[in-house]
Amino acid sequence: MTVRQQPATSPSRTSAARTERRGAGSGGRRPGPHRSGGSYALFGRLRYAYVSPALLLVAVLLYLPFVWTAWLSLTRYDGLGSPEFIGLDNYTRLFQDEALITSIRNTLLWVAGTTVLPVGLGLLVAVLSYDIKGGPWFRLPFLLPYAMSGAGLALVWGFILQPEGVANQALSFFGMPGGDMSFLNDGPENTFAMLAVWTWQQLGVNMLLFVVGLQSIPRAPIEAARIDGASGWRLFRHVLWPLMRPLTTVVVGLALVASLKTFDIVWVMTQGGPGRTSETLAVTMYRDVFVADEYGYGSAVAVLLTTVTGLASYAYMRRQIGKEDH
C-alpha cells in the first residue's frame, strides 16, 4: 500500500511568495501613504542604523565570544595575565588525553541513549495512547516529571541512587538483584543510570510533541488506509510514520543537540566523577576552564564540541530534508 504525501506547505509558501512580489511591485497591493518615494529613500539611508543595534548585539554576544574562544584555544592561559600563543598544541593534546576519550565515549552514549530512550519511548507512548479512550489521563503521569528543573531532578535522583540510598533499599526490600550496586560510582554504569533519570524526565515532553503531531495529521489518509484494511504496525509504518516525518525530524534534531551538550544533570549528580568516569564533553569543557583554570585547553574542548554539534546537526538535517524533498 502506498500513500502519497500531501505537499501541505507548498501552496501557502508559493502564495506568500506571490504576495511578497505583488507587494513589492507597482501591480500589487496599493502602497500606503508612508511608503512614498521620499520615505523609501530615508529608510534606504537609515536602514543600517535601524538594524545595527540588533546586529551589534548578535556580533557582541554571539560571534565575538565564539571568535574569542577559538583564539583562546590556540593559547596557554590560566585566567590571569595574557594568553600565550602555542599554536595547535591544545588540539594535539586533546587526542592524547585519556579523560577526553572517556568524555567522547560518554557523549556518544548520551546521543545514542537520548535518541533511543526518551524519543523512542515517547513515540511509543504517544502512538499507544493516541486515539484511545482516556488517552490524556494515561499520558499525564509521563508528563509530570517535566515540571521539575534539571538541577532539582539531578539533586533528588542523586540521593535516590547514592550507595545504600532509596534505590538500593527498594531493590533489597523486594528481593531483587542490585541491592548492593553502586549506581553512580563506576563508569560507564553511572552514565547509564543518569540516562535512565534523563529518560524519566524527557519522555513526557517528546510524547507530547508526538501526540500533537499525530493529532495534526489529516484524518482522510488514515481513514482511507483503514478502509483498505491497514491497522496496527502496518498503519503506523506506512501511514502515520511518513506523515509524522517533519515533526520527527525536529524532535530528533532537538534531542541530538541537547544530548551533545549534556551538562547539568551530570554536574549535579556526579560532577563528572568519580575519577572523571562520567564526564561528557560539556562537563570536560567546564572542568578544564573553571576548575583546572586551563582556559586555553578548555576552549579547545569547546571548539571541538561546537564543531561536532554543528556537523552532526547539519548532517542530520540535510539528510532529513533531502528525504522530504524526494
Partner 1 sequence: MMPSMRLRVTALATGAAMLALASCSSGNDSGGSKSELKLYNDKGAWSQFFDQMGAQSKTEIGLGMKPVGYTDEPTYTAFIKASFRTKVKPDLFTWSTGGRLTEIVKQKQVADTTDIWQAAIKSGDLSADLAKYYTIDGKQYCVPLNTAYWGMFYNKKMFAKYKLKPPATWAELENLARTLKSKGETPFNHTTPTSLFSFVWFEQLLVGTNPDLYEKLGTGQASYTDPGVVDVMKRWKTMIDAGWFSNPGDKADPADHFKSGKAAMVSSGTWFNTSMTQRQLKLGEDYGFFFIPNVNPSLPKTSLVFESGPLCSLTKAPDPAASTKFLKWWVTPAAQEKWANSRGDVSGNPRVKIAQPELSKITKEAAGGEYRLMQRYFEAAPAPVLTAALDGLSGFTVKPDTYMKVLETIQKANEQYWKTQGN
Q: Does the protein bind partner 1 through residue 253 (CB under 8 A)?
A: no
Q: Which stretch binds partner 1 (CB under 8 A): 54-62, 123-131, 289-297, 308-316?
A: 289-297
- Complex with partner 1: residue 228 or 293, whichever CB lies closer: 293
Q: Does the protein bind partner 1 through residue 31 (CB under 8 A)?
A: no
User: 211-223 burial string, b = 16+ CB within 10 Å, else e?
Assistant: bebbeebeeebbe
Instruction: Compose the 36-55 pattern: x for residues touching partner 1 by CB under 8 A, - for all others.
Output: --xx--x-------------
Q: Does the protein bind partner 1 through residue 182 (CB under 8 A)?
A: yes
In angstroms, give the least distance from the CB of 289 to partner 1.
Answer: 8
Per CB under 8 A, which of residues 69..88 are in contact with partner 1? 78-81
Judged by CB under 8 A, the residue of 11, 65, 152, 163 near partner 1 is 163
In angstroms, give the least distance from the CB of 78 to partner 1.
Answer: 7
Residue type, 204: G
Q: Which stretch binds partner 1 (CB under 8 A): 10-18, 60-68, 100-108, 158-166?
A: 158-166
Q: Does the protein bind partner 1 through residue 296 (CB under 8 A)?
A: no
* Residue 249 C-alpha from the chain's centroid: 11
Distance CA 112, CA 155 (A): 24
Tell me how far CA of residue 229 lies from CA of 41, 249, 324, in angstroms.
64, 28, 26
Judged by CB under 8 A, the residue of 271, 306, 313, 320 near partner 1 is 271
Q: Which stretch binds partner 1 (CB under 8 A): 120-128, 194-202, 267-275, 308-316?
A: 267-275
Q: Does the protein bind partner 1 through residue 164 (CB under 8 A)?
A: yes
Cell of 254: 532537538
Write the burial class of residue 322 (CB in 10 Å: 0-12 exposed, 13-18 middle, 19+ buried): exposed
In angstroms, give the least distance from the CB of 204 to partner 1.
Answer: 26
CB of 280 closer than 8 Å to CB of 194: no
In angstroms, give the least distance from the CB of 298 to partner 1.
Answer: 11
Q: How many C-alpha atoms does 65 have within 13 Å on its Cβ side?
A: 7
In angstroms, give the least distance from the CB of 93 to partner 1.
Answer: 10
CB of 255 closer than 8 Å to CB of 114: yes
User: 180-197 burial string, b = 16+ CB within 10 Å, else e?
Assistant: ebbbbbebeebbebbbeb
In the block, residue with C-alpha cell 512580489: 21
Site for partner 1, rule CB under 8 A:
38-39, 42, 78-81, 98-99, 158-159, 162-164, 182, 184-186, 270-271, 273-277, 286, 290-294
